[in-house]
Amino acid sequence: MGGFCSPEEEAIVEDKLGRRIDYLRISVTDRCNLRCLYCMPAEGVPSISHGEILSYEEIIHFVHVGAQLGIRRLRLTGGEPLVRGGLTDLIRGLKAIPGIEELSLTSNGTLLAAQAGKLKAAGLDRINISLDTLDKEKYAAITRCDCLGDAWAGIQAALEAGLAPVKINTVALRGINGDELADIAALTLKYPLHVRFIEVMPLGDDVDWACRHLLPLTEVKTRVETVGKLVPATVTGSGPAQVYRFAGGLGTVGFIAALSHNFCQHCNRLRLTADGKLKPCLASDLEVDVKGPLRSGADEEELQALYRRALALKPSRHRLEQYQEHQRLMNQIGG
C-alpha cells in the first residue's frame, strides 16, 4: 500500500460491510463563538488546550496517508473552524495532496464575510452554513448570540466569492422554528442556495431537550410543500440528503432524516477530531488515537493501520434513536 495510486489504479478502501470510505471530516478546533441550544450549554464547555490540538502539519501528513488509501473528499469543521487562525494555509496544504478531489467547510457564517474570498482563493470548493431561523430575536435565542446580520453577510459573501454550492443547514426544531421552515425553503426561489433540513440529533448536552424538540422530516416536508410542489433534483455532495427543487427555483431543498430514516448503509465517512482521534461513527464513542502515533514518529505503514483499525470498528448503524448520553458533545466531534 506504499506510494500513491494513479487514477488508473485508484485505491479503494471498504469497511467490513463493503461500504467504500472516501470521505474524511476534519475538526480543526472544538472552540465556537456561538452557543447553540442543541450543541452546548450557555456557559460553553472546557476547551481542549492548544497543545492537544493537532497542528496543521500533522493534519496534512495524516490526510496524505489517507489519500493513498482512497480518501478523496475532505470537509473542515469545528466547533467553528473560522475561529482558528491560518486556515487558508491548511486549505492550500490539503488541496496540494495528490488524490484529494474536493475540499469543503462547515461554518456558522458569522465570521465568513471577511474571509470568503480568501478561502476560495486558497482552494476551498464549497461551504455549508448553519442557519436555523430568519428571525433576529429567534436567532439570538437559538445561538445565544445576536448576530443574524453577520451570518447573512457571510452567506452573501460565499455566493459572491464563487463557492458553489452554498448550502444552508437548518436544524428543524419543534416549537422553535417549525413555523419558519417554509420561509427558509423559499430562499431557494430567490437565491442559488441549497437548503437542507436536518433532524435534531441527541449529541448536545441535553438529550431530553433534543427528544422534546425533534421534528420528523416527514412533517417538515409537509410544511415546506406549502411553498410549492417539490420535484426530485440533484446537487454536488448531497450525501444522505433527499434532494428536491421548486419549479423555477435557483437552488434545491434537501432533507436529512438522521433519526426517522436510517441511512447508515450508505455511510462513506470517517471523522478526525481536533485532538487527534479518528472516529468511525458520529454517534459512537469508539475512537482510534492518531495524535500519539503522529507525535511519536509513526511511519506511513503504521498510520495506514490506524485508518484500517477505524474501519474495522465502524458499526453497521448508529443508535441515536436510543437517546443515550455520549462522551463528547457535537462541538467536540465536528459533526
pLDDT for position 41:
80
Tens of pLDDT, residue by residue over 135-154, are 999 999 999 999 999 999 99
Q: Are 106 and 127 in contact (CB under 8 A)?
A: yes
| Percent of the chain residues topping a pLDDT of 70 | 86
pLDDT for position 4:
46
Q: Are 331 and 45 in contact (CB under 8 A)?
A: yes
Does 323 score more than 50 pLDDT? Answer: no
Mean pLDDT for all residues in the chain = 89
Does 3 score more than 80 pLDDT? Answer: no
Region 247-262 average pLDDT: 84
Domains (range + CATH), the chain: 7-333 (3.20.20.70)
Question: For helices 87-95 and 56-68, what crossing angle results, to 10°?
Answer: 20
pLDDT for position 335:
54
pLDDT for position 321:
44
pLDDT for position 200:
87
DSSP helix/strand/coil, 140: helix
Among residues 139, 138, 121, 144, which one has the least CA distance to residue 129?
Answer: 139
Tens of pLDDT, residue by residue over 54-85, are 999 999 999 999 999 999 999 999 999 999 99
- 112 CB burial (10 A radius; 0-12, 13-18, 19+): buried
Q: How confident is the model at residue 302 (pLDDT cuts 50, 70, 90)?
A: very high
Q: Are 284 and 266 in contact (CB under 8 A)?
A: no
pLDDT for position 275:
96
Does 314 score more than 60 pLDDT? Answer: yes
Region 120-125 average pLDDT: 98
Region 110-135 average pLDDT: 98
The better pLDDT of the pair 333, 71 is held by 71
pLDDT for position 315:
78
pLDDT for position 2:
44
Cell reading at 193 = 442556495
Q: What share of the chain is helix, strand, coil (3-state, %, to 5)?
A: 35, 20, 45
Strands (DSSP E) along 68-216, which ranges?
Answer: 73-77, 102-107, 126-130, 166-172, 193-199
Q: What does pTM read for this prediction? A: 0.90
pLDDT for position 263:
61
Could you tell me which residues come within 8 angstroms of residue 268 by beta carbon, excluding any fewer than 6 positions away?
A: 19, 20, 21, 22, 23
Among residues 165, 184, 187, which one has the least CA distance to residue 238?
Answer: 165
> Rounded to an integer, what is the distance from CA 190 to the centroid of its chain?
25
Region 196-222 average pLDDT: 84
In Å, how far are 60, 103, 272, 297 from 67, measured between CA atoms?
Answer: 10, 13, 14, 19
